Amino acid sequence: MSTTTLKKKNSFSIGQYSYILICLVLFAAYWIINGRMSLKLFTNIFMYHSAIIGVLGLGMGMIIITGDIDLSVGAILSCIASFACVIFNLLVLANVPSGLVITITVLFCIVGGTLLGFVNGAMIGKLKLPAFIVTLATQLIYRSVSKYACNIIDNSVTGGTGSGNVYKLLNGPARDGMYAFGNRDLFGALPYIGLLFLVIAVILIYISTSTKYGKRLYAIGSNAKAAHMAGVNVEWNRTSVFTITGLLCGIGAIMWLGQQSGVDPSTAGVSNEMYAIAAVVLGGIAMSGGKGRMLGIVFGTFSYTLIDKIINAMNVSSLVNDSIKGAILLVAIVIQVLGPQLRKKHGE
């Protein structure tokens, strides 16, 4: 019976790296449709536009590896970015030196994101509530709080104008600093936020492949009961992945503020949890947990951005955008789920 699954885990097969193949195909398709390619365009796609979804996707990927899901990543990003904006503006209004303004804002994003992630994690890990419902609820709460706050906080502090319910970083050297981080390139070619994304990716790939903590996450996703019986502290590890994801959302919020110099709480990060899940699925990580590589998420994110760019380049109505993304996601999951089944049936 058990001899039916004589499969090497680490032996090389093209199926294991299909996420790279998908990415290459999409890149070729984009090149053809767009008709030209340049270094600027290349780094624009793979670094500037992939950074935020990529960072959220890396957190989402860790959570999915443990067999859970987080629907609140977009809302955490939006909420943290909103309040970071308020703090930034208050500091600017109090004439705090711009270096300190940026430092405090960045610290706030990191600590705040971690905290919101920890709230999710504690409820899911410690209280053993279902992740889907918990993060759906916190998604609603976090987003509503940032929208409501925008409404009641004075425009001079939110930075918004007229009746517009948006947060804006107040002009000045501090804002210019944030803007430079979000929009400038190292050596004139490598966007800073893209570099930050890749650095985070390298760290998380290392954690997932080479640390005891990383292997525990796979163990929990593969069989949580067995992991518990083997001595793994399932409660704490579950809590920790949601907390790390919260931290990554905080970093996403910094990137967002840098890129946009402000945040509209009713649109910022909307559907980003779905885009992050899309990047994870395109990266070949199994939704059932326990399987997949963090490296896949990097390519999954690239693929996701490429799809976005291809749709834009084809000049179709932006309203069809999500239908096409949805369809591509379906194809990806069909390949992921049905591929192994077909191979099994034919006894490959």
Partner 1 sequence: MDEILQMRNIHKAFVGVKVLKGVDLTIGRGEVHALLGENGAGKSTLMNILTGVYSMDEGQVIFDGEDISNCSIRESEDKGIAFVHQELSLFNDLKVYENIFFNKELTTKGGSLKKNEMIAKCREVFEKLGVDIDPSVTVEHLTASEKQTLEIAKAIFFEAKLLILDEPTTALSNAEIDHLFQIIENLKAEGKSFIFISHKMPEIFRIADRYTVLRNGEFIKAGNIAETNAQEVTSTMVGATFSNAEIYRTRELGEPILEMRALDGKDFHDVSLSVRRGEVLALTGLQGAGCSELMQCVFGELPSFSGTIAVEGEELTKNTIHLAMKRKIAYLPTNRRERSAMPDLSILENMYISEHTLSGKKPIINRASEIAKYDAQKENLSIKAEHYSDLILSLSGGNQQKVFFARWLNTDAEILLLDNPTQGIDVGAKAEIYKLILKLAESGKTIVINSQEIPEIQRVADRCVVFYSGRIVKTLPHDQITEHTVMMYATNAAEDSEE
State the residues that interact with partner 1 by CB under 8 A: 1-11, 210-213, 215-216, 218-219, 221-223, 225-233, 290-291, 345-348
Which is nearer to partner 1, 176 or 348 (by Cβ)? 348
For residue 325, give both structure tokens: 């993304």
Amino acid identity of residue 27, one-letter, is F
- Give Cβ neighbours of residue 206 (< 8 Å, ≥ 6 apart): none
Least distance from C-beta 296 to partner 1, angstroms? 15
Q: Which phi and psi (to 5°) does residue 168 adopt?
A: -135, 140
Which is nearer to partner 1, 151 or 211 (by Cβ)? 211
- Give Cβ neighbours of residue 127 (< 8 Å, ≥ 6 apart): none
Least distance from C-beta 196 to partner 1, angstroms? 23
Which is nearer to partner 1, 209 or 323 (by Cβ)? 209
- Give Cβ neighbours of residue 244 (< 8 Å, ≥ 6 apart): 59, 62, 117
Element (H, E) at 263: strand 262-263
Rounded to whole angstroms, the Cα distance separating 136 from 140 reads 7
Which is nearer to partner 1, 36 or 225 (by Cβ)? 225
Are the CB atoms for 294 and 276 separated by under 8 Å? Answer: no
Least distance from C-beta 336 to partner 1, angstroms? 14
Contacts of 186-191 with CB under 8 Å at 24 or more apart are 189/39, 189/40, 189/43, 190/43, 190/47, 191/43, 191/44, 191/47, 191/48, 191/51
Which is nearer to partner 1, 262 or 290 (by Cβ)? 290
Least distance from C-beta 287 to partner 1, angstroms? 13
Residue 92: CA count within 13 A, CB half-sphere: 23
For residue 215, give both structure tokens: 């292997």
Rounded to whole angstroms, the Cα distance separating 38 from 171 reads 33
Least distance from C-beta 71 to partner 1, angstroms? 24
Which is nearer to partner 1, 85 or 227 (by Cβ)? 227
Least distance from C-beta 221 to partner 1, angstroms? 7
Which is nearer to partner 1, 138 or 243 (by Cβ)? 243
For residue 36, give both structure tokens: 């030209």
Rounded to whole angstroms, the Cα distance separating 142 from 250 reads 13
Which is nearer to partner 1, 45 or 200 (by Cβ)? 200
For residue 257, give both structure tokens: 């503020």
For residue 153, give both structure tokens: 């906080």
Are the CB atoms for 62 and 322 separated by under 8 Å? Answer: no
Least distance from C-beta 68 to partner 1, angstroms? 15
Amino acid identity of residue 330, one-letter, is L
Bridge partners of 191, per DSSP, are 185
Are the CB atoms for 244 and 22 separated by under 8 Å? Answer: no
Least distance from C-beta 195 to partner 1, angstroms? 24
Least distance from C-beta 273 to partner 1, angstroms? 24
Which is nearer to partner 1, 9 or 36 (by Cβ)? 9
Helices 192-210 and 212-222 pack at an angle, to 10 degrees, of 70
